[in-house]
Amino acid sequence: MSLDHRLSAEHEELRRTVEQFAHDVVAPKIGDYYERHEFPYEIVAEMGRMGLFGLPFPEEYGGMGGDYLALGIALEELARVDSSVAITLEAGVSLGAMPLHLFGTEEQKRQWLPKLCAGEMLGAFGLTEPGAGSDAGGTRTTAVRDGDQWVVNGSKCFITNSGTDITGLVTVTAVTGRKPDGRPLISSIIVPSGTPGFTVAAPYSKVGWNASDTRELSFDDVRVPAENLLGEEGRGYAQFLRILDEGRVAIAALATGLAQGCVDESVKYAKERHAFGRPIADNQAIQFKIADMETRAHMARIGWRDAASRLVLGEPFKKEAAVAKLYSSTVAVDNAREATQIHGGYGFMNEYPVARMWRDSKILEIGEGTSEVQRMLIARELGLGA
């Protein structure tokens, strides 16, 4: 048994490459995109050319032949600089392309994955509804079979990457029937962008992630071919549970990156900022605050990498993913708050990255399963409760 948690040479090379890209390309430009609430097409295109959207997918579909650990590494390094760019990658891979890879037919994979892996197209995952968030079993969107078509009606909310100029499809969960006991049969159906009756609302006005795309979707007698069913009919609920388990590992990596970015910015600022004739980095109160921040980020990194390693090895990882997501998102909020405090008044100015990090951190305790849901999952894995 190996106790070496260090990255392989290949993974370390990827980390350094993305780190350099984040600092050289993302950092100088993303603030303007963020302030304008504008999607960074130029940056996303370059991420596509680097192969980041294809990291965990097989080369035969245009992927890089990597694994989920590689994706997490890229997400962490991007989020150290900006979370809007990181969540665009996370949602594009974990929610947009991964369902097709895991559950799609060979024809579906060959139709969609190459462009998704190249970053030339984005996919989205339509799960959350106005009345069904954590309780996704309460899905009200329906899909009725009519000959060789599905007719979809309903709405979805808070859907990332669903309304960009390069969005190609949304995989929608919908009730397609009822079980003998009356419970809904939930299935996943691919709805291509531009399908008649499929309406994408204007972007939300958000507290954070301002350079990412998040929309409400509506479906009014939207007709798609019967072969757009993703996986088996009635297995959509189980599919989305698998997708969310994996997605929590990715979000934990992203949250860790934000937490580490807060450390990076605080160390830099503490050395530059002088008060009472000396750098504030000389003050033990500041040193201890940053030391605690580094400790939290370090432990969060161990957590998500452990969950990712289990996933890659094909071992059970549900509990570890929930632990990693719960802890890292909490750490992200804590570190963002402390980084803002260290920066003082400047921490309240949008020109400083920590202001973005403070605004971006809170959603990490909500998206891909709230902190309360993570605690429920952990308790259930320990044999507690019903």
Q: Which residues are catalytic?
A: 368
d(CA 208, CA 264): 20
Q: Which of 188, 123, 201, 199 is nearest to 158 (CA)?
A: 201
Give Cβ neighbours of residue 200 (< 8 Å, ≥ 6 apart): 162, 163, 193, 215, 216, 217
Own/partner contacts of 113-118, CB < 8 Å, gap of 24 or more, are 113/57, 113/61, 113/62, 113/63, 114/61, 114/62, 115/62, 115/168, 116/53, 116/54, 116/92, 116/168, 117/51, 117/53, 117/54, 117/57, 117/61, 117/62, 117/63, 117/64, 118/48, 118/53, 118/54, 118/62
Sequence-separated (6 or more) residues with CB below 8 Å from residue 41: 164, 165, 166
Reduce the DSSP state of residue 153 to 3 states and report it. strand
- Round to whole Å and give the CA distance between 307 and 319: 8
Three-state SS for 233? coil
Dihedral (CA of 186, 192, 195, 201) sign = positive
d(CA 19, CA 82): 12
In the chain, DSSP assigns E strands to 122-126, 142-146, 149-160, 167-178, 184-192, 198-200, 214-225, 229-230, 274-275, 278-279
Alpha-carbon span 370 to 6, nearest angstrom: 30
- Report long-range pairs for 268-276 (Cβ below 8 Å, ≥24 apart): 269/342, 269/343, 269/346, 270/342, 273/344
Q: Give the pair of three-digit tokens for residue 299.
A: 């432990």
Per the CB < 8 A criterion, the answer to whether 257 and 78 are in contact is yes
Q: Which two tokens stand for residue 362?
A: 């809170």
